[in-house]
């Protein structure tokens, strides 16, 4: 006799409260076992960086319910039989998730309101008037009044800074105000049971956590890679009732891939909206237009093909401050790039490889970057739609005409106001991002025995090999000649598919394509 299918539940879209999820019968991916593993590991003060809408607030709420001893919420979960429900601890929870604070005074006022609310909850009265003094006193008095050391949970610890990055002076004021708050934690160690801070970015200890030497950063610890987010197993088990009618491989391609040196995960927000709407769309990307990020990449003359394989040191990935914002660190910490691997070429020297986590981010980010690189949005969209048709028919002369018309559409005034066109990678970046914005199978800097191919596109049984050159004015035929002389096609002959060699030359003077040579090899 076959078992009945698992019934569908409510989707916890936008719900970061464990009690509501459990009591209202929503789907819940059990993180309580991992939460206990962390609590029982070495140390008691932890920091975790994860991108927005990744379930950080729900994790914080899970810690809160554990330490407050609300056993009923964990019935049937890993924590039910592992946690000592007889021990309870007062929890001070500070969140900056709501609203945008636009001055240091607003920040201090928000902190005072949070601290005063906790005084009422715990029945204590603080005498200090300063933020740091009142926070320190609250921790000590609460420990004494309730007879148990205090748990401090800080959610979106960095949001007041990130919300004001376009105004550096204000961002610095916010940073100083938060440092004033967080500095209390080291001196209060004797009164603390557990401390957990989470947010999007990892600010350097010097700038924000000065003196807090016992804070363990678990962001890149493989054991906690899946502490937030859904794993493949979670999708196949917890959400199995939602899968019929959806292409499982496409779900993986669109939304899986975020990795912090351990198990890869999906962004929960994407998955839940996919199951709700039954359509593949860039749900997570659309919730926050990365205007600041796009402007930064353009200002730094970032070569967009490099986004698929960025190499960085741990120091670079971990160094983030108002005065020093490396594009690689910002891309990684905000979730537009993720870890694809790590190697140690010599002892003590670690090299981290970053790339897009999935199709959603690759296509959406490149579409956004085109606008930041001066490309009119309407023309860019039309060109991408036409590009699909031309690749399908391998109409390379029409492809040349498409991109020549496209580059001609970029307003002259934009070039006058921006120096980016003088950056040699500009033209290849714009060319590449049109393909990447479609989510096509692209290989960048593809290694062969004779060199590296600038770009390879695999599409519907055809191979397109592109080589780019920038010339002063007239075409020289260098690009196609390099493809031929270095035998770039050899690597793909075994596929038995038609191979199209395309040499593209851009002119600095004309700001357009002046050379577009092609050759087709039979499959």
The structural domain count of the chain equals 3
- In the chain, DSSP finds a helix count (H) and a strand count (E) of 23, 15
- Report, as an integer, the average pLDDT of 203-221: 79
- Report, as an integer, the average pLDDT of 95-106: 94
Are 402 and 486 within one domain? yes
Residue 262 lies in a domain: no
- Report, as an integer, the average pLDDT of 403-430: 77
Are 322 and 401 within one domain? no
Are 511 and 387 within one domain? yes
How high is the pLDDT of residue 413? 67
pLDDT tens-digit profile of 308-318?
A: 889 999 888 87
Burial 179-215 (b: 16+ CB within 10 A, else e): bbbbbbbbebeebbbbbbbbbbbbbeeebbbeebeeb
Which CATH number does the domain housing residue 399 bear?
Answer: 3.40.1350
User: Which residue range forms the structural domain that includes residue 206?
Assistant: 31-224
Tell me how far apart the alpha carbons of residues 158 and 94 are, in angstroms, rounded to a whole number.
Answer: 12
Q: Is the pLDDT of residue 484 over 80?
A: yes
Are 91 and 184 within one domain? yes
pLDDT band, very low/low/confident/very high, at 433 (cuts 50, 70, 90) = very high
How high is the pLDDT of residue 1? 44
Residue 252 lies in a domain: no
Token pair belonging to 408? 């001609």
How high is the pLDDT of residue 24? 97
Answer with the residue of higher pLDDT: 4 or 366. Answer: 366
Are 389 and 342 within one domain? no
Beta strand pairing status for 462-471 and 499-507? Answer: parallel
Residue 371 lies in a domain: no
Q: Is the pLDDT of residue 419 over 70?
A: no
pLDDT band, very low/low/confident/very high, at 2 (cuts 50, 70, 90) = very low
How high is the pLDDT of residue 357? 97
Are 305 and 391 within one domain? no
**Weakest-pLDDT range from 139-153, 233-247, 334-348, 446-460:** 446-460
How high is the pLDDT of residue 173? 95
Is residue 191 within 8 A of residue 143, CB to CB? The reply is yes
- Report, as an integer, the average pLDDT of 434-460: 85
- Report, as an integer, the average pLDDT of 410-429: 73
Are 185 and 121 within one domain? yes
Are 346 and 439 within one domain? no
Residue 278 lies in a domain: no
Token pair belonging to 35? 């939460």
Q: Is the pLDDT of residue 80 over 80?
A: yes
Are 220 and 309 within one domain? no
- Report, as an integer, the average pLDDT of 489-513: 93
Average pLDDT taken over every residue of the chain = 91
Predicted TM-score (pTM) of this structure: 0.92
- Provide CB contacts within 8 A for 359, sequence distance 6+: 253, 254, 439
Query: Which of 224, 251, 274 lies at the terminal end of a domain, its last residue?
Result: 224
Residue 403 lies in a domain: yes
Residue 183 lies in a domain: yes
Q: Is the pLDDT of residue 289 over 80?
A: no
Are 307 and 382 within one domain? no
Neighbours of 118 (CB within 10 A): 21
Residue 248 lies in a domain: no
Residue 235 lies in a domain: no
Are 476 and 418 within one domain? yes
pLDDT band, very low/low/confident/very high, at 19 (cuts 50, 70, 90) = very high
pLDDT tens-digit profile of 38-57?
A: 999 999 999 999 999 999 99
Answer with the residue of higher pLDDT: 415 or 235. Answer: 235
Are 122 and 45 within one domain? yes
pLDDT band, very low/low/confident/very high, at 146 (cuts 50, 70, 90) = very high
């Amino acid at each position: 006799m076959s078992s009945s299918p698992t019934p569908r539940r409510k989707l916890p879209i936008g719900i970061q409260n464990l009690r509501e999820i459990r009591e209202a019968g929503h789907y819940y991916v059990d993180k309580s076992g991992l939460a206990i593993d962390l609590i029982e590991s070495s140390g008691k003060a932890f920091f975790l960086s994860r991108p927005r809408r990744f379930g950080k607030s729900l994790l914080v709420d899970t810690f809160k319910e554990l330490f407050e001893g609300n056993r009923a919420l964990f019935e049937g979960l890993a924590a039910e039989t592992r946690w000592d429900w007889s021990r309870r601890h007062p929890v001070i929870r500070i969140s900056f998730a709501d609203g945008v604070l636009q001055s240091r005074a607003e920040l201090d006022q928000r902190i005072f309101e949070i601290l005063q609310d906790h005084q009422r909850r715990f029945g204590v009265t603080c005498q200090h008037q300063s933020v740091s003094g009142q926070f320190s006193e609250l921790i000590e008095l609460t420990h004494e009044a309730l007879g148990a050391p205090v748990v401090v949970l800080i959610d979106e610890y960095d949001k007041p800074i990130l919300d004001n990055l376009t105004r550096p002076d204000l961002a610095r004021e916010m940073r100083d105000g938060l440092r004033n708050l967080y500095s209390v934690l080291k001196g209060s160690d004797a009164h603390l049971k557990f401390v957990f801070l989470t947010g999007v970015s990892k600010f350097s200890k010097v700038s924000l956590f000065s003196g807090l030497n016992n804070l363990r950063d678990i962001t890149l610890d493989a054991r906690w890679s899946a502490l937030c987010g859904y794993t493949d197993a979670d999708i196949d088990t917890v959400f199995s009732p939602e899968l019929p009618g959806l292409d499982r491989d496409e779900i993986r391609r669109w939304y899986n891939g975020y990795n912090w040196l351990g198990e890869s995960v999906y962004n929960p927000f994407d998955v839940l909206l996919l199951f709700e709407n039954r359509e593949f769309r860039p749900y997570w990307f659309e919730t926050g237009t990365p205007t600041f990020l796009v402007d930064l990449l353009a200002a730094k003359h970032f070569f967009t093909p490099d986004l698929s394989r960025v190499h960085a040191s741990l120091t670079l990935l971990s160094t983030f401050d108002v005065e020093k914002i490396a594009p690689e660190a910002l891309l990684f910490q905000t979730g537009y790039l993720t870890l694809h691997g790590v190697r140690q070429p010599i002892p003590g020297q670690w090299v981290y490889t970053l790339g897009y986590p999935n199709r959603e981010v690759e296509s959406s980010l490149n579409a956004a970057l085109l606008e930041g690189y001066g490309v009119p949005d309407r023309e860019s969209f039309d060109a991408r739609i036409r590009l699909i048709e031309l690749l399908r028919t391998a109409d390379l002369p029409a492809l040349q005409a498409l991109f020549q018309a496209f580059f001609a559409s970029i307003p002259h005034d934009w070039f006058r106001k921006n120096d980016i066109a003088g950056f040699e990678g500009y033209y290849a970046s714009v060319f590449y991002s049109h393909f990447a914005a479609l989510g096509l199978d692209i290989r960048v800097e593809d290694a062969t025995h004779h060199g590296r191919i600038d770009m390879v596109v695999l599409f519907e049984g055809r191979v397109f090999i592109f080589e780019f050159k920038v010339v002063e004015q007239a075409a020289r035929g260098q690009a196609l000649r390099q493809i031929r002389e270095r035998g770039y096609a050899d690597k793909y002959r075994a596929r038995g598919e038609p191979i199209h060699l395309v040499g593209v030359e851009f002119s600095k003077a004309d700001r357009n394509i002046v050379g577009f040579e092609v050759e087709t090899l039979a499959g």
